[in-house]
Each structure stands twice: as C-alpha cells, then as structure tokens.
A and B are shown apart, each in its own frame.
Chain A
Amino acid sequence: MDAVFARAARERRALNIIWTAAGRYDFQPDFLAFHEDGSPDLYLNAIVGLAYRCHDAAALAAFREELDASWLGRTFTGLYWLALESAVFDRCQGEMPALAVLRRQHAARYLADNEDLAMQRLMMRDDLVHALKSARCRAVLGASPGLLNPWEKRLYDALAFNGAMTTADFITALRDVLRRFFVFRYGLGGSCRGLRFSVGAGLAAVLRRLLSAPPEESAVPRLAGGRNRPGPPGLAERLLGAAPPDNPVKVLTLFPRPLWAEETRRTYEQAFCTGIHRKSHLYYAASRRDEGQRAANLAAFRAQGARCRVAIRRLTERLQNTLAVCREPIPLRAGRGRFCPRFVWQALYQQDGRVFTASRPVRYAGFSVTLLLDASYSRAGQQPEIAVQAYIIAAALAQAGIPLQIAAFCSLAGSTVLHRMKSFDAADNGAVFDYAAAGWNRDGLALRAVRPLLSDGPGLPLLLVLTDARPSDDRPVPGAAGPLARDYAGERAVADTAAEVRALRRQGVRVVGLRQSEVAGAAETARQIFGADFARVERVDQLAAAVARLIESQIRQSTPG
C-alpha cells in the first residue's frame, strides 16, 4: 500500500504544480512530467500549467494530436515541447522571479539524469530531441550548446520561440519549422501518400530507428488513471447471481479463503438460515479474488488522493471533537468554581479553601464500529467510489482511536457471503480496496450473519451499513404452502431487513444506515429499515460530515446523563 500511496502522492504533486501555474483547477492536463527517479519535475509541470494560462489549451491539444499522428510523431511531439518551453518561459519569466532558477535546476537535473542511462532507456530515447534538449540545458547553464551538426544547429535556433506569440502564431511557426527541416507534409489525415523525405545523413540513422520502432510513450508521460481501468463486471459475473442452483465452486472461486473452519460455518448457517432464509446458505470469507477491480479501486483512490486525505483529516478531527464533547464530567473539589456549602466547615476549621467544585472532563470511547458494505451487483458502477469512501471512514476511525472492522456482503449462487476485509486487530486499511460487487444482496440474512463478527470488538457495537436500501435476492422466499416461493425483494425484503435491524438493536447493537442510492423511493425504504438513524451520502466530501453526524448522534445517545 505504501508504494501505491507514494505514487498517488507524486502524481498529485505534479498535478498541483500544473494547477498552481495555470491558476485554475477545473481541468485535467494531458501530461505530467517526472524526473528519472519518479519525482515530479517542478519546472516542466510549471511550463505545462503556464501554457494553460497563456495559450488556448484546446488549440494546442489539437495541434499536438496532429503531430502525434504523423510519421515522426514522437520526434515532432518532442520538438513541440521544446518550442513551447521556449515560448512560455520567455513570456512568463518577467512576472515569475523563480522561473529562471527552476529552469536552471531543471537543466542541471536533466543533464545529470542522462549521463549514465541504462541501455534500455537509451534505446527508448529520441536522439534528436535529446540532443536538442541537452543543448538547450547546457545553454541555460551558461555553457555552449555543444551541437556540431549544422542542420541540428539551425533547428536548435529555429526552436527558440519568443513569448510574444499568440497560440495561432506558435502553431503556424512550428508548422513552418517542421516543414522547413523535415521537407514533407507531416500531417497524415489517415494517409501516407505523397510524403517526400529529404533529411541529413545524421538524421537518417535516427529516422530508421524511429520508423521501425513501436510507438513509445511521449517524452513527457501521460497522466495515469482511467486508461487501464477495467470495465464493469462481465456477463459471467453478472450471471453468478442469476438464480443458479447451489454452486459452492463459484463462491470459492471468488472467495478462496474461508474465515472460519467448516464446522463453525455450518453452525452459524444452521443458526441463521431459518425462516424465510431457510433455503439459503452462509459463507464467511477472509479474502476476495478480483485483482482487476482492486486495481481500479486503487486507481480511483490515487486520482483523488489529496481530497481523500483532507476528508480523512476532517473526519478524524470531527470524531475526536465529538468524543471530547460527549464526556462525562467528574466533579472535584477546587479553590474556585461552583460553591458547595457542605465544604464550608472545612474552610473554617481546617483552613482548606477548596469549598467549590469544578468539573474534569473524561473521554468517552466505549464502543467499536463495524462497517458493513453492500457488495451486490447493483453497486457495480460505484465500486471504486465505495471502496474509496470506505477507506476514508476506516482511516479516520483508526486515527481517532475507534476500533473498526470492515466487511462486505453479497449473495451468490444461493449463498450469502460475508467477506471480512479488515478485522479489529488489523492495522492496515488497504484491504478495503478488495471491495468488488457481484450477485445479489440478501440484507436480512447478512444482518443476521454479521452478529458473530460484532462480538469481536470492545465496548458497545456500532454497525454502519453502507447500502442502497434495496435488498433483493434470486433465491426465493419459501412460500407458506411449501413449494410455492416468492422473490426476496420489494416490501417483503425491506420488512425482513427492518426486522433484523430491530433484532440487532434489541441485542444492544446500534445500527446506522449510510444510504448511497439515486433510486426513487430509496429514502423511504431506508427510513423503514433504519428508522431515523440513516444518512444519504452522495459524494466523497459529504461522507466525512455524514459519518461524523451519525457517530456523534450515537455517542450522545450512549453518554450517561
């Protein structure tokens, strides 16, 4: 997890440099720049951001795409960045005193990074662009550019664009440079016909390698995230919940490691799979196998890393504050405070002036939290979002010193599966990114099944249920007439779930719903299930306040006096 967070933090830093330079935060740049060691390149990212500030970003992006699609796309894109760097620096250096310093630091770092490259990196490098870039770096540091080839010298000079150019001027000027030096129309428009090459001997070797090489990443890496994100679960996964007969193999495929021994599982199944759940099965899992979804969840977390951190901190502070507020004061004798007549005789006869009482606060933290996540297929479109939200809650509660466990539930092939992702004892919250949706959600049975987990925590159990308040399962409810069966859905399922919530509350468990659903009527069903103890959560930044409010309410209810 540390490596994931570190990468997310580096990307966030690069993004922030660009946004800072651009002076706005309402866009996602196409490029982020990093040094060889993976740290953000402050100067190049600043140039990217300043380009957004000074130029028409859409026009530049279109032009860049045009270059990228040409035969020498990789080289031309490199030359584009060289020209843009020159133009943006020239325009902004006067108003930004640090820019010249950053440029020198960048130049020194670039030359140092490229001194002793591995062969693999050398093969990937664009020699022409590197030669020109190195020349510029040497010039920035006050040395001679060091170019020997006259053709390269002329190209180097031609790419020294000035800052007075408009976006249209810049594009026109760069087109002109490319035409003059590469002597063919680089724009393809889907066709390679009519291209005429006429380049120097030195460049010919470069071209041979370029044209034979497979497309590489641009000199400036693309923004991570989104591209490799797996899509929603496929048909096979969807079909897992489509009323097949009992098939433990399918369950074990997705949840390979059981939480408890078979004998224990069977005991709980016999205890809980009764009444309208008597045709269902129970399975307690300790792991979930869906690497693709985990990667997508982590990518979502990385993409909003800074916001998550802020949300975690706000939630932590709010929880700590709530715990501090709802304390039980202890009256103590004191030299000032509320007058207490029964101590007066001691003042008169024992010269003890402490005839007042003052209150000393005592922390209240006598409860543990279980976060139960609906992991049915209906949440397939929200998996990364739910995982991120769950992580925020988990991290904040951990920092506030509140014991927490996390479990997810779904129903597959006739079995309701309860997957414990984090126990009270586990220090790492990263397992919450294993969250993946499949099958149905037999909420009533899941709320029964969670009972054994609740007893593991210290103090009074508080159960937070992240749900869409729409319980449903393909495993039918056994009918009164025996073989007749009805669906576990709608009012029947809601009533069953509400009954289980009430049963838990009778056993001293505080049950609170976190409803995340846009479906009409979900508010009403959530109210039926959870009573007043539920909140609607739409966005990540609302989660902190919603959870804090609910926990605050629960703590107040449980505070004596």
Chain B
Amino acid sequence: MLDFWRSQGVDTALIEGVESYRARYPWAGERAVVAPRYLFYGRRIIEQATAALLAGENLLLAGVKATGKNVLAENLAAAFGRPDWNVSLHINMDASFLIGSDSFADGRVVFRPGPVYECARAGGFGILDEINMARNEALAVLHSLLDFRRVMDVPGYDRLALHPAARFIATMNHGYAGTRELNEALASRFVVLQLTPIGPEDLGRLLTREFPSLRPAARQTFAAVFSALQQKCESGEISTQAVDLRGLLASLALVRAGLSARTALTMGIANKVFDRDERALVDDLLDFSLPEDLAPDQVFGD
C-alpha cells in the first residue's frame, strides 16, 4: 500500500510517519490485516487523512455516493498495518450492538463483546460505516471513547481503555435515503474530510487497474457515462440511485463475462432506478452514449 502511495506522490514525511507508527505498533493479533480490494486515488485526500490519523484523531469521511469513502478507510487501515472492524450502522442499531451485550452460556451470564469493544481493545481501525444512519442516542455511548478520555465504561463489567494504536473512521453521506444530521456532540469528536466524487482521470485509472484488458475507447465511453450520470445528479435531474460506481464496475465485469455493454449497464445501473421518469432519463443517456449492440470483444481486447 505504501508503495502505491509513493507512486501517487504522497508526501514522504507522512509515509515515514506511517512507517514509524507501524514500527511502534506491530500487529500481532489473530485478526488478519486485509489487503483492500480497491485502491483509493487522490493524493491530497490521502495526505490529509494520514496526517489526521498520525495526530491521533478520529476521521469522518463525508461525501456523496461514489466518492470512495469506504475504499479510503480500508486503504488507510492497510497502510497503517492494522486490521479493520467494519460496522455498518443502521436505524435499529443500539449501543449494545456496538459495545456488546449480555449472553447466557453454561448457566451463567457472560459478556459478549461487540465490534467496537474488540477494536478498541485490540488497537484496530474501527470503520463506522454510514454513521448518520444510526440514531444519535445509540452513538452517545461512544463519546468518552472518541474524545480525549479514550475510555468507555461498560455497565456491569469494567472500564475499557482505548488501545493507543486504535483509530475510528466514520463515513457518512448527506442526503442518502435514511440519513439524518449528525449531532454536534458526535461530530466534534472527529476531524472531517469532505470527499468529492471521483473525477474522469481517476475513474479512468481505476477502470484500467480493475480491467487491464479494457480497450481505451471503451474505457473512455464508460467513464463518460459515469461522468454524465454524476453531472445529471448534481444538476438535480436524477437522484443518486444511478450514480453507482459499484454498479459501473459490476457492469464491466458482466461485459467481460459475455453480455453486451448496453445490457450490462442496464443491469448494473439503469435497473436500480425505480422512478419511471428518472429511468427514462437514464435510458436516454445510455442510448446516447453507446450502441445497443456494443459487444464484449469491442469492449475488451486480448
């Protein structure tokens, strides 16, 4: 990961800082440090995030869809050489889901730790995905853990002290279905990075890396489709449903598997739009952007 960062031109002092951190906190736990599936492109954002984590801060990654929030979080955990505990937050989640709950085994009540508890104790990177999906009341239990106190009382059990290597990275998406405003008390415990949607150049690099045999013309076409969807969404013509980077990558995988490009994009993107009028706009965009019979061999070379 650090080699990739060097190739991106990330500041040498920051990379040395990460190496120093890794030397100070070598990971020796059972949980594996997973190599991320995707790489995050964006030198400036990587530098800002790294600086925040080296300073011991928790990080809140805010941005709309397709800005790479989770990819960046996983990349950071891998670069810092720590395993990540990824917690997808939702509306019905309560504090016990994060910290742990009582369980009954062998005739006695025992504490079953939750992901935040385990991450804090082991010194991992806790990724609180879509933090604004959860109710603020449920997250209040994390306040003492995330601020200068770095401790958390587990009622009925003990006081958990945060491992010095542990960091928390939260992600949030304004305006996503089911999200709300983050309250000030929680937001103040993070430093915030606003991520911008992936640009055409970075998207082109991503597509090339994921699909090395993608023909340059096809790469340009698919990147143009995605950029047009982003632009349409920013202009308020469509919602965020169709601006789906995962869907674009999945579509290319479908093309590689033998489907025509138009069919694959219909499955990967257009079919995710359930509003009839909005769907018509997306279909028009696809009709405009690529021929209906664009075959796999026209998209991928040898």
Measuring CB to CB, which residues of chain A are less than 8 angstroms from any residue of chain B? 9, 12-13, 16-17, 19-21, 23-25, 40, 42, 46, 96-98, 101-102, 305-307, 309-310, 313-314, 317, 321, 324-325, 335-339, 347-348, 353, 355-356, 359, 361, 541
B236: A residues at CB distance < 8 A = 306-307, 310, 541
Per the CB 8 Å criterion, the residue count for chain B at the interface is: 42
Task: Identify which of A19, A98, A307 contacts B289 (C-beta below 8 A).
Answer: A98
14 A-B pairs (CB sep. < 8 Å): A13-B284, A17-B284, A19-B232, A20-B284, A24-B231, A42-B288, A98-B288, A307-B237, A310-B238, A314-B239, A321-B91, A339-B102, A339-B156, A356-B101
When the two chains form their complex, are residues B287 and A42 in contact, meaning their CB atoms are under 8 A apart?
yes
When the two chains form their complex, are residues A336 and B281 in contact, meaning their CB atoms are under 8 A apart?
no
Task: Identify which of A46, A325, A347, A355 contacts B135 (C-beta below 8 A).
Answer: A325
When the two chains form their complex, are residues B287 and A102 in contact, meaning their CB atoms are under 8 A apart?
yes
Provide the main secondary structure of the chain A interface: helix
> Given A12-B277, A309-B275, are A338 and B178 neighbors across the interface (CB < 8 Å)?
no
Can you name the residue of chain B whose Cβ is closest to the Cβ of A101? B291
When the two chains form their complex, are residues B237 and A19 in contact, meaning their CB atoms are under 8 A apart?
yes
When the two chains form their complex, are residues B291 and A98 in contact, meaning their CB atoms are under 8 A apart?
yes
When the two chains form their complex, are residues B237 and A306 in contact, meaning their CB atoms are under 8 A apart?
yes
When the two chains form their complex, are residues A338 and B228 in contact, meaning their CB atoms are under 8 A apart?
no
Measured in the bound complex, the distance between the Cα atoms of B283 and A20 in whole Å is 12
Contacts A324-B91, A338-B96, A347-B107 known; 11 new A-B pairs at CB < 8 A: A13-B277, A20-B228, A20-B285, A23-B228, A23-B231, A309-B278, A310-B278, A313-B275, A314-B175, A321-B178, A337-B102
Task: Please list the 6 inter-chain residue pairs (A to B) with the smallest Cβ-Cβ separation, ordered nearest first.
Answer: A339-B102, A25-B235, A317-B177, A9-B277, A101-B291, A307-B236
Measured in the bound complex, the distance between the Cα atoms of B156 and A19 in whole Å is 61
B180: A residues at CB distance < 8 A = 321, 325
Measured in the bound complex, the distance between the Cα atoms of B288 and A101 in whole Å is 9
Measured in the bound complex, the distance between the Cα atoms of B231 and A16 in whole Å is 11
Q: Is B7 an interface residue (CB 8 A)?
A: no
Tell me the minimal C-beta distance from B138 to chain A in angstroms: 10
A310: B residues at CB distance < 8 A = 236-239, 278
Measured in the bound complex, the distance between the Cα atoms of B96 and A98 in whole Å is 54
B148: A residues at CB distance < 8 A = none
Task: Identify which of B96, B104, B237 contacts A355 (C-beta below 8 A).
Answer: B104
A347: B residues at CB distance < 8 A = 104, 107
Measured in the bound complex, the distance between the Cα atoms of B236 and A296 in whole Å is 22
Tell me the minimal C-beta distance from A453 to chain B in angstroms: 32
Can you name the residue of chain B whose Cβ is closest to the Cβ of A316? B177
When the two chains form their complex, are residues A361 and B284 in contact, meaning their CB atoms are under 8 A apart?
no
Measured in the bound complex, the distance between the Cα atoms of B138 and A361 in whole Å is 14
When the two chains form their complex, are residues A336 and B103 in contact, meaning their CB atoms are under 8 A apart?
yes
Measured in the bound complex, the distance between the Cα atoms of B286 and A102 in whole Å is 12
A23: B residues at CB distance < 8 A = 228, 231
Q: Is B290 an interface residue (CB 8 A)?
A: yes
When the two chains form their complex, are residues B284 and A40 in contact, meaning their CB atoms are under 8 A apart?
yes
Tell me the minimal C-beta distance from A9 to chain B in angstroms: 5
Can you name the residue of chain A whose Cβ is closest to the Cβ of B280? A13
B55: A residues at CB distance < 8 A = none
B135: A residues at CB distance < 8 A = 325
When the two chains form their complex, are residues B278 and A97 in contact, meaning their CB atoms are under 8 A apart?
no
Tell me the minimal C-beta distance from B124 to chain A in angstroms: 24
Measured in the bound complex, the distance between the Cα atoms of B101 and A355 in whole Å is 13
A102: B residues at CB distance < 8 A = 287-288
B91: A residues at CB distance < 8 A = 321, 324-325
B195-206 interface bits toward A, Cβ cutoff 8 Å, 1 = contact, 0 = none: 000000000000
